[in-house]
Chain A
């Protein structure tokens, strides 16, 4: 390691930063003689100036690439500085960073040098050094190059905790248009193979005492948002199919950042669509943790996510008939549908109501966000009328109002109600 290492490191880190996966979760492992362990919940080690978590040393082995994908900063015809790491040097750097607790492990990707297989071979050399020579048991995420052979994917799964094959563009027609060297079969073949291998190991494990791991933290992928014209409903349908079919652990969404040059095949964006990206992550959360189906979040009638309110509120506003929900009776999946109630507060509600009946005074202390939940639940909070009385339009306006205005209107609402009661009494 020397002063040139820094120059290379900067080039190859900058080249890898558009891949948004950061997680180091999904596997727990104790140290085994060498350095390292892994924690099931993942650990964030730092945050970059863009606010994204840094958990792994996310780096390309080389940013030389023979492909010409229009959306990618590393495309062959882009005039940028190029560099490549020597495998021993990168393994050593990973260990040194790891020992200082800068990182949780390595996330290795690469530009396509010569062929997919040739590139995979080079990446595998780094993993082999880390796992076999240095006995490293920290986290490793390795990108599989679309079109890589089965044997190499199998070897990658032996060393890596997580594998990923990036879809990048959410429909095949657009992928072929923007990335002439790629197609969906090159992406789905390794993805399905990873699933088969994982299932095979699970079956073997029932028969034999000791079966080597295969990518124990599963696989993930990434789609780029806004480089092509797919609607949110198409993207979410794709995600839900990926969670079911190849059993992906995560689908990452990456707002398209125009990366130099002006290609007529790409939309002219003034800024990356960050708001849309955020809404897609929220929708993805609904799929994975909130028991929602993709078509409930976006469908032919509502093909794109509402940018003003989060997708759970949007669903609730479209379904006033589901509310108000009685928090003393509703089951867990129903509680999760209430805006302002998350998995943690839903669980607390369920435990707490076994011991006593819950009144409005308990709810906000249990972690329910009263400002949102008040239109959707019984017992009423601040005596707020529910969504069926106010109507979805009014609730939407109240939810969008800045906090101070919302407070004032809450007072007005309760005044209205109490004076109403006074009159009828």
Chain B
């Protein structure tokens, strides 16, 4: 059994594809540098990432895949699901090796890997859309709108354009509590770059920021939203099961409407 060892980055994965075609030898398993050595691995190839390899592989993929197919690659990568890197590796290989048949190789859904990529990408895309709705921002004393999320997949990068567009020139931050990183955009220049931020754990309390960090009037606003949320339900139609189906309990911790 042949193993490829790579640095667990997206560039690293593309470099692994590059190496496999260069060596004409394909791995049966992908490992990270810190993974314990596999007794069954007959030989291991260490993938070296250069600036050139990922660019060339991606450019080749861009010729073979539709825009949607390329987006699916990114979505599957961001899923951070176990084994999704090797799934992508097999998928990319199938795309490169496909002959010119009647159908598009990226839509050969009778193939389990192609279908798995489509389904996983769709799932991650849907989760990102959910957070576009469920992220709740709190205004701080400094006037920054901050939302905390704890997503299963790494969807934060998928939400930046949406919220950037939405907030206009106001400063905001979206923070992934589980992964311990966030992205912030300062006020003023709309084109200003996003920057990565890390929050001290002590600033976070429950599903939000510590109350003393919040702007004056923030508490009133939150109580108005809770009041609205409660009043919007029709008593004769109460259906908490349906509610939880659309909005599972795991989201509730971060939702203002559920104190």
Contacts and interface: CB of A to CB of B under 8 A. Distances in A.
Contacts of B241: 51
Contact of A102 (B104, B170, B238, B256): B256
A351 B243 contact: no
Contacts, number: 187
Interface in A16-61: 17-18, 30-31, 33-37, 39, 41, 43-55, 57-58
Contacts of B167: 31, 35, 99
B224 A6 contact: yes
Contact of A43 (B104, B132, B217): B132
Contacts of B235: 50
Interface of B: 101-105, 107-112, 115, 118, 129, 132-139, 145, 147, 162, 165-170, 217, 220-221, 223-225, 227-243, 245-247, 255-257
Nearest to A51: B242
A10 interface: yes
Given A51-B241, A257-B236, A362-B110, 15 more contacts: A10-B227, A10-B231, A13-B227, A36-B166, A37-B162, A37-B165, A47-B242, A49-B239, A50-B239, A51-B243, A54-B229, A101-B136, A274-B237, A355-B102, A365-B112
Contacts of B223: 6
A31 B137 contact: no
Given A101-B136, A272-B236, A355-B101, A31 B168 contact: yes
Interface residues of A, number: 63
A271 B168 contact: no
A358 B139 CA distance: 54
Contacts of A99: 137, 139, 145, 167, 170
A10 B162 contact: no
A358 B110 contact: yes
B165 A30 contact: yes
B109 A58 contact: no
19 contacts: A6-B224, A9-B228, A35-B170, A36-B166, A46-B247, A48-B232, A48-B243, A49-B243, A51-B239, A51-B242, A53-B246, A96-B224, A97-B228, A101-B137, A102-B256, A258-B236, A272-B236, A354-B107, A355-B109
